[in-house]
């Protein structure tokens, strides 16, 4: 993977980063990282912003622009939008809901197979994250104060979800059914609401109560 693509992927998965953080993660000198970031900025792929925290000089952080986000493909976005519009026109909202439900059922079967035999809630969440990553969601699992966070750094169906929110609703339902009744699953960040990624808090029922 080219250095430019590695930097874009790092910012995509890690959020806005300082030059020093990029350098450390990729084994570059600060000067080398800065030069590469400036070239990406000149190409319109990253955006530098100065943040002031307390006293001292402001820190420069780098985030992806819309063009940079577009380097991570939204699976056949235009064709998907056209198909959704055609389904809505031919079969109405009820027909579109049936399409969403069919996709959810297919996902449930795949996720049930992925988590089968998992010995713990954490293992179920990790296996679900692996299945979602295979679908292009760049998922990961992190510790949270009261449970776990399932984080998806990319949404390969973002265009479709923007015109049919049923996709997002059905995915949340699928997560809840896959992970089982011994935990609660709540979406805490949502790309369509302006967040840079989607995140779900998975809390054991004992902790939730």
Quick one: pLDDT at residue 198? 94
Domain edge (last residue) among 52, 69, 86: 69
Of 69, 100, 120, which residue constitutes the final position of a domain?
69
Do strands 198-204 and 147-152 pair parallel, antiparallel, or not at all (unpaired)? antiparallel
Q: Which residue has the tokens 């577009």?
A: 70
pLDDT tens string 35-65: 999 999 998 889 898 877 667 777 889 988 8
- Does 129 share its domain with 107? yes
At 62, which helix (H) or strand (E)? Answer: strand 59-64
* Same domain as 198, residue 116: yes
Is the same domain home to 174 and 140? yes
- 88 with 59, same domain? no
- Based on the fold, state whether residues 137 and 46 are members of the same structural domain: no
Given a cut of 50, the residues of the chain with pLDDT beneath it are 209
* Distance (Å, whole) CA 147 – CA 150: 10
> pTM of the predicted model, to two decimals?
0.70
pLDDT in the model for residue 72:
78
Judgement on whether residues 105 and 178 belong to the same structural domain of the protein:
yes
- pLDDT for the residue 207: 54
Segments forming the whole domain that contains residue 20: 3-69
pLDDT of residue 54: 66
Same domain, residue pair 42 and 83:
no
Quote the pLDDT of residue 143.
93
Whether residues 175 and 84 fall in one domain: yes
Structure confidence at residue 73 (pLDDT): 66
Domain of residue 141, CATH code: 3.30.1380
123 and 63, same domain (yes or no): no
Instruction: CATH number of the domain at 45, please.
Output: 1.10.10.10
Would you state the pLDDT for residue 122? 96
Q: What is the reported pLDDT for 76?
A: 60
CA distance 90 to 94: 10
Domain boundary among 43, 69, 95: 69
Burial of 154 (0-12, 13-18, 19+ CB in 10 A): buried
pLDDT of 75 reads 58
Asked if 187 and 118 sit in the same domain, the reply is: yes
Pair (61, 137) in one structural domain: no
Please check whether residues 101 and 185 belong to one and the same domain.
yes
Query: What's the number of domains the chain is made of?
Result: 2
């Amino acid at each position: 993977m080219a250095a430019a693509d590695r930097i874009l992927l790092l910012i995509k998965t890690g959020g806005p980063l300082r030059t020093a953080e990029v350098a450390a993660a990729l084994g570059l000198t600060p000067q080398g990282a800065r030069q590469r970031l400036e070239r990406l900025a000149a190409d319109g792929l990253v955006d530098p912003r100065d943040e002031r925290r307390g006293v001292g000089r402001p820190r420069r952080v780098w985030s992806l622009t819309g063009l940079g986000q577009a380097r991570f493909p939204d699976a056949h976005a235009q064709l998907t939008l056209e198909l959704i519009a055609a389904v809505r026109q031919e079969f109405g909202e009820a027909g579109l809901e049936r399409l969403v439900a069919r996709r959810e059922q297919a996902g449930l079967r795949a996720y049930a197979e992925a988590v089968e035999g998992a010995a713990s809630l954490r293992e179920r969440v990790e296996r679900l994250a692996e299945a979602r990553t295979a679908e292009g969601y760049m998922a990961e699992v992190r510790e949270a104060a009261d449970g776990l966070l399932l984080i998806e750094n990319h949404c390969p169906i973002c265009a479709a979800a923007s015109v049919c929110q049923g996709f997002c609703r059905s995915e949340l339902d699928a997560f809840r059914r896959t992970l089982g009744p011994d935990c609660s699953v709540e979406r805490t960040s949502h790309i369509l609401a302006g967040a840079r990624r989607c995140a779900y808090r998975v809390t054991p029922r004992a902790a939730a109560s």
